[in-house]
Structure 1
Amino acid sequence: MQELTVNDAVSSALAEEMRRDPRVLMFGEGVATTRPDLVAEFGSERVRNTPLAEAVIAGTPAGAAAMGLRPVIDLLYAPFLTLSMDAIINSAGKLRYLSGGQFAFPMVVLARTGAGWGVGAQHNHNLEAMFVHAPGLKVVMPSNAADFKGLLKSALRDDNPVMFFMDMTLGHTPGAVPAGEHVVPLGQAAVLRSGRDVTLVSYSKTVGHCLTAAQELAELGVDAEVIDLRTLKPLDEATLLRSVRKTGRLVVVHEAAAPCGVGAEIAALVSEQAFEALKSPVRRLTGPDAPAPSSWVLEQAGVPQPEAIVRTAAGLVLCDEVSA
């Protein structure tokens, strides 16, 4: 094991995959400036800065992927994705299907998201559900350094376009990362804590909030199971359903707003396929349906905190026990 920050884990994955496969190249807003180590090792042909033109940045790799290259692009902040959605959704996401499988589109899009840096609404917006809704795309949103490295390596090897969202506040968070080759398959959730009373499901930085809440719930006599989705599409339905059928209760936690969010999809999935196991209604804890504020304090108020998770989960379990 080695101790790496999330940012270092991402850099390690990029370097290893560029060494492994000469078709991997990277470009985007400032990537050659912020990653001089990659430029020094692989040259300016494979690591390039681009103009601040998101539609061009996203359109170029769609063509490069169709020609057999494996591009990864960095669009910095997630809201900038709105300027590049035609290339990502209407071209990269659909052309493999439209070609009858004759073309592959191995394209990875990096974008930073999440509260904690006070960068304001035009730089902070959790858009992951928009891309989950788009056919042909895969969507990844890790919570720890080991998964950032392992999932990015899998994304770079995948023959489909992959949206790779990185929470800004996790970038400098250290964690244990296996030394040597470390690949985490896309589409597999992780059960980070086993429990019998309630299932807490999350992704990205709110996974840490769920783990903190689970410790506090244990002091109240509530045994919580914590699941890190890791990949939002494809979704690991089997792990989710297995957990809910065991605990009978579900709380879904994410920073993005509630309407048509990932939590809504999970609630529908469980209601359709595990309704008979539910002992109480599914609960969602999400961010507000509002633009993100620039104030750090107000940002934090919009993110589901451990206290709210404890209150919600304990309410489900303890109320059921009282009524029984």
Structure 2
Amino acid sequence: MTATTTTENTATAPATTITMTMAGALNAGLRRALEADPRVLLMGEDIGRLGGVFRITEGLQEAFGVNRVIDAPLAESGIVGTGIGLAIRGFRPVLEMQFDAFVFPAYDQIINQVAKLHTRTAGHQVTPLVIRIPYGGGIGSPEHHSESPESVFAHHAGLRILTPSTPQDAYWAIQEAVAVDDPVIFFEPKRRYWMKGEVNTSERDGDPQRAVVRQVGTDVTLVSYGPLVPTAVEAAEAAAEEGVSVELIDLRSLNPIDFDTIEASVRRTGRLVVAHEAPTFLGLGSEIAARLSERVFYHLEAPVIRVGAFHAPYPAAKIEHHYVPDVDRLLEGIDRALAY
């Protein structure tokens, strides 16, 4: 990592910008959360001495001890159940699900307990826990290691859902997730763990629950999130070479969704394409398409176009590049929106 320090003027504190991978940014964010609050602890399979299969927690057990960075048995339901008890007793546990599909043994705990405790106790019981889930494809994994289950959890009220697409967002969003009193599902785009970017460790880029406009445009609005955002950036750049101006919005939060930012963009462009790695059938793009059709129907010049994976089980690694949307699939969606 390389560090540079810049000062805008003598009246402001210096801003430290560090180049790091998303994995490094998550590690740094978790380290800062552990330092800031003694109630924060981490729990998961192989996250201690090994540092996790993706090394997100590397060095944290050495720094904070085995009572705060805990190697758990291979039992996701037990990990989440223990986390619920810890949260009730005043701790702020951060629980790691080693891979996306591994979360489903804990689905009952998450939906019937984590998401509902606050309402069930008439607001008296908060459940400040974070469940980290590496998700998405693109790394050549075997079965059960490449899934996009975000819409399954977004369907249930009571859970905040965040997903960063840059190291900057990862660094600040994980700290925000740990600090809030609500339970948070934190989806980490695993194929972007090694993507490098600049991280300002003294100033975050707005509220992680608000969408951010990554690129300003006038012809069509392209909405995406998590692992597909870098692909969407490439698609927007390719469209620009063909004379099409794309406004790119990164959601960052999947529950709640910042519909206001999307609406403001669509009112300007008149066209909307929603893209994600998850299948289009009953994906988050369906809700966004329906909601925007209700809110800005008379501003739309074309139907809302959805781009996503196919409604089929995630394929073998050799053919996953046919399943995950690429630049060409996004450009085809943009062309369909402009064809009307």
Q: TM-score, length-normalised on structure 1?
A: 0.95
Q: In the alignment, is the contact (CA less than 8 A) between 1:217 and 1:223 conserved in 2? A: yes
Paired position in structure 2 for 1:114: 136
Paired position in structure 1 for 2:34: 18
Paired position in structure 2 for 1:229: 251
2:121, 2:70 → 1: CA distance?
29
Gapped runs of 5+ residues in structure 2?
1-16, 52-56
Instruction: Give SS of 2:217's match.
Output: coil
2:138, 2:330 → 1: CA distance?
19
Q: In the alignment, is the contact (CA less than 8 A) between 1:151 and 1:184 conserved in 2? A: no
Q: Structure 2 vs 1, CA of residues 183 and 243 (structure 1 numbering), >3 Å: closer, same or farther?
A: closer
Instruction: Give SS of 1:289's match.
Output: coil
Gapped runs of 5+ residues in structure 1?
none
Paired position in structure 2 for 1:5: 21
2:184 corresponds to which of 140, 148, 162: 162
**Residue identity matched to 2:20:** L
Tell me whether 114-123 or 246-255 shows the greater mean CA deviation. Answer: 114-123
Q: Structure 2 vs 1, CA of residues 201 and 30 (structure 1 numbering), >3 Å: closer, same or farther?
A: same
Q: TM-score, length-normalised on structure 2?
A: 0.91
| Residues 1:309 and 2:326 are matched in the alignment | no
Q: In the alignment, is the contact (CA less than 8 A) between 2:168 and 2:205 conserved in 1? A: no
Instruction: Give SS of 2:209's match.
Output: coil
Paired position in structure 1 for 2:114: 92
How far the C-alpha of 1:117 sits from its partner, in A, is 1.7
Paired position in structure 2 for 1:185: 207
How far the C-alpha of 1:311 sits from its partner, in A, is 2.3
Instruction: Give SS of 2:181's match.
Output: coil
1:307, 1:136 → 2: CA distance?
37
How far the C-alpha of 1:151 sits from its partner, in A, is 0.8
Provide, for residues 236-264 of structure 1, a one-character-per-residue CA deviation record: whole Å limited to 9, x for no partner. Answer: 01001111111110010000011211000
Instruction: Give SS of 1:25's match.
Output: strand
Q: In the alignment, is the contact (CA less than 8 A) between 1:189 and 1:227 conserved in 2? A: yes
| Residues 1:286 and 2:302 are matched in the alignment | no
Instruction: Give SS of 2:233's match.
Output: helix
2:173, 2:314 → 1: CA distance?
28
How far the C-alpha of 1:36 sits from its partner, in A, is 5.0
Paired position in structure 1 for 2:126: 104
Question: Which structure has the highest helix share of the two?
Answer: 1
Instruction: Give SS of 1:9's match.
Output: helix
The number of residue pairs the alignment matches comes to 318
**Residue identity matched to 2:19:** E
Paired position in structure 1 for 2:95: 73
Tell me whether 253-262 or 304-313 shows the greater mean CA deviation. Answer: 304-313
Paired position in structure 1 for 2:78: 56
Q: In the alignment, is the contact (CA less than 8 A) between 1:120 and 1:292 conserved in 2? A: no
Q: Structure 2 vs 1, CA of residues 183 and 87 (structure 1 numbering), >3 Å: closer, same or farther?
A: farther
Query: Aligned-residue CA RMSD in angstroms?
Result: 1.3
Paired position in structure 2 for 1:248: 270
How far the C-alpha of 1:312 sits from its partner, in A, is 2.2
2:304, 2:114 → 1: CA distance?
35
1:113, 1:94 → 2: CA distance?
24
How far the C-alpha of 1:121 sits from its partner, in A, is 2.9
How far the C-alpha of 1:110 sits from its partner, in A, is 0.7
Paired position in structure 2 for 1:272: 294
Q: In the alignment, is the contact (CA less than 8 A) between 2:315 and 2:323 conserved in 1? A: no
2:325, 2:104 → 1: CA distance?
25
Provide, for residues 212-232 of structure 1, a one-character-per-residue CA deviation record: whole Å limited to 9, x for no partner. Answer: 111111121111100000110
Q: Give identity over the alignment, percent.
A: 36
How far the C-alpha of 1:316 sits from its partner, in A, is 2.4
1:144, 1:300 → 2: CA distance?
22
1:161, 1:185 → 2: CA distance?
17
Instruction: Give SS of 1:266's match.
Output: helix
Q: How does 1:211-222 map to 2 (within 5 A)?
A: 211-222=233-244
**Residue identity matched to 1:7:** A
How far the C-alpha of 1:185 sits from its partner, in A, is 2.4
How far the C-alpha of 1:304 sits from its partner, in A, is 1.2
How far the C-alpha of 1:181 sits from its partner, in A, is 5.4
Paired position in structure 1 for 2:104: 82
How far the C-alpha of 1:113 sits from its partner, in A, is 1.1
